[in-house]
Structure 1
Amino acid sequence: MPELDAAARKKVIRGVWENLGRTVGEFPHIPTLVENAPFGPGYEVSGAEHLIAQAEHGGPVLFVSGHIGNWEMLPPGVAKYGVGFASFYRAAGNPLVDRMIRDLRNAAMETPLPLFAKGARGAREALAWVAKGNRLGMLVDQKMNDGIEARFFGHPAMTAPALAAMALKFRCPVIPGHVQRLGPARLRIVVEAPMLLPDSGNRQTDVALLTQMINDRLENWIRICPESWLWLHRRWPKEVTREV
């Protein structure tokens, strides 16, 4: 975002750390947050009609988002509309911490759903899960070295193509959504209409196109409130980072 001056950049950096701290602090309290609370802690859902439609329709659905706002609010908030989804997760290095995180995530859900570990085994399990007509959510904003190259903020970025490949394989809805932070423990889940899947007849081309469409959607959300995104990982190649 070269258009930002030094003061705006400092504001983003401060905001990133504040959002991360609040997200961690809110994590154990997510099960207690009330939808449409008149004031104070709570959450609201914009675009709930898309969730209701999928609950009535049934069948596999892929939810796509990124580490924006308090992303931990997505699974329990969506589940309350009858479209709970399984998720991928990266296991913590400390087994005790990992168990605590899993327990907190399960506690936030009325009915716990599978958490697939990132890696080949988890990918196979997730594919089988969707093939059975279930729903899956993925955060796809982080670098994947063995992914495919797509543009992100105008720069090349290695991106996971798994969600696009799965969506095209099953021709199932891809629903984008993210969390906006309105204040301390005050959140808004924004659910958008299902994306239009490409259908050129060339699978490789369609996977690349849908992957780029998803990156573009993520970029649009982040540009609106850049301090809400977890900028702390190396999303771009080192040579791009040096240029910026």
Structure 2
Amino acid sequence: MAASTPGKSPAKQEEPAALSLRDRLISGLLIGLIRLLGVLPYRIRVPMMGRIVSHIVGPVIGYRRRVRENLTMIFPEMPAAEKNRLARAVPDQIGRTLAELFSPEDLKATAAATPVTGAGVAALDAAREAGRPVIIVSGHIGNYDIARSILIRRGHKVGGLYRSMNYKGFNDFYVSRISQVGTPLFLRGRRGMGEMVKFLKEGNAIALLIDQHMGAGAPLKFFGHTAYTALSAAELALRYDALVVPCYGIRQPDGMSFEMVIEEPVPHGTPEEMTQALNDSLEAQVRAHMEQWLWVHRRWKEQEVDAP
């Protein structure tokens, strides 16, 4: 399930920026770091990347501060010690996920050993057998690409939507890695959306993440606060009679393995009702696994003032 990560470009961008000296230098540094870590065994590489982001990168680029700010807004009574714990744990989760995304063969091996649970398993498999379009919806929790890998292994044809990163050299490297988990991948933009819709209409599955701020989205609720949310998953489902299934790759206590949770499909209704149900589903998962969600997101920016 390809999706955005911190540092990606705005959704309006159709093509990556032209290669420049800055692009080559920054892309080279990033790729070099990933290749250097790649010589380490996977079970060392993943936690090491977690520590690097938690203890070095996170404090420098403000991750810890942003986590505490979001937690203070959503949980004003949370003890400072718990906020500080999560401010360290969330960047660790980010680092681990990045290491996994850039280790596609190891990720696929992990997915092969991942148990699949939840009330929506039968409905999802039935849709595949019937050739009914499926929209897999998740969020930046655990590792979202685990779900894409597992579903492909189970016989689903799954396409993923992704955003181009700011640096073309690094973007090409990123796409080459996530493509090894599965294709097709659709670049966010008019052309990519058209290709994705065609793929969905053919009775396939697409994977989307729902937890990014969308200024043109609907003012729905997430943790009791207004969060502007895209209605596109629900609108596509209604237009093409697609099954909408919340799926989550939840990291287990060992920090390396996962459980894939497939929840019951969201009933068709209005786009707002369906999307709010998806927000509620994700919120429940985040509450159960607080350190696994991307609390560095500016999920509630430009939010409306809620009534008391």
Same fold (TM > 0.5)? yes
2:112 alignment partner, one of 35, 60, 70: 35
Aligned letter for 1:189? M
Pairwise CA distance, 1:34? 5.6
Deviation track 1:131-151 (CA, whole Å, cap 9, x = no partner) reads 222211101111111111111
Question: Is the contact made by 1:66 and 1:141 (CA closer than 8 Å) also made in structure 2?
Answer: yes
**Residue 165 (structure 2) aligns with:** 92
Give yes or no for contact 1:50–1:191 (8 Å, CA) kept in 2.
no
Structure 2 residue 173 is the aligned partner of structure 1 residue 173: no
Q: Which residue of 2 aligns with 1:218?
A: 282
What SS does structure 2 have at the residue aligned with 1:185?
Answer: coil
Quick check: 2:111–2:150 contact (8 Å CA) kept in 1?
no
* Structure 1 unmatched ranges of 5 or more: 37-42, 199-205
The separation in 1 between residues aligned to 2:124 and 2:303, in whole angstroms, is 41
Which residue number corresponds to residue 61 of structure 1? 134
Runs of 4+ in structure 1 deviating by more than 4 angstroms, as ranges, are 238-241
Distance 1:159 1:57 in 2: 30
**In structure 2, what is the Cα distance between the partners aligned to 1:174 and 1:55?**
13
Q: Report SS of the residue matched to 2:294.
A: coil
What is the letter of the counterpart of residue 240 of structure 2?
Answer: F
Query: Cα gap change, 1:239/1:168 in structure 2, threshold over 3 Å: closer, same or farther?
Result: closer
Q: Give the SS at the match of 1:141.
A: coil
Residue 193 of structure 1 and its aligned partner are, at CA, apart by 2.0
Alpha-carbon distance between aligned partners in 2 of 1:128 and 1:96, rounded to the nearest angstrom: 29
Change (3 A) 1:238 1:166: closer
**SS at structure 2 position matched to 1:17:** helix
C-alpha distance in 2, partners of 1:195/1:127? 20
Displacement of 1:59 in angstroms is: 2.0
Q: Number of aligned residue pairs: give it.
A: 225
What's the counterpart of residue 194 of structure 2?
Answer: 124
Q: Distance in 2 between matches of 1:51 and 1:103?
A: 28
**1-side partners of 2:273 and 2:153: how far apart?**
32
CA contact under 8 A between 2:227 and 2:299: conserved in structure 1? Answer: yes
Deviations 1:10-40 (A, max 9, x none): 222211111111111222121332633xxxx
| Structure with the higher strand share, 1 or 2 | 1
Match of 2:300 among 213, 220, 236: 236
Residues 1:193 and 2:264 aligned together: yes
Aligned equivalent of 1:24: 98
Q: Distance in 2 between matches of 1:144 and 1:34?
A: 30
User: Gaps (5+ residues) in structure 2?
Assistant: 1-73
What RMSD in Å do the two structures reach over aligned CA positions? 1.9
How many angstroms apart in 2 are the aligned matches of 1:121 and 1:158?
24
Normalised TM-score (structure 2): 0.68
Query: What's the CA shift string for 1:175-222, capped at 9, x where partnerless?
Result: 111111112321111111212111xxxxxxx11111111111111111
Residue 4 of structure 1 corresponds to: 78
- Structure 1: which amino acid aligns with 2:167? N
Q: Which amino acid aligns with 2:279?
A: N
Q: Take 1:30 and 1:53, find their aligned partners in 2: how far apart are those partners?
A: 26
Q: Which amino acid aligns with 2:129?
A: E
**2:172 paired with 1:102:** no
Task: Report deviation, 1:4.
Answer: 2.1
C-alpha separation in 2, matches of 1:11 and 1:240: 29
CA distance in 1 between partners of 2:111 and 2:160 (Å): 22
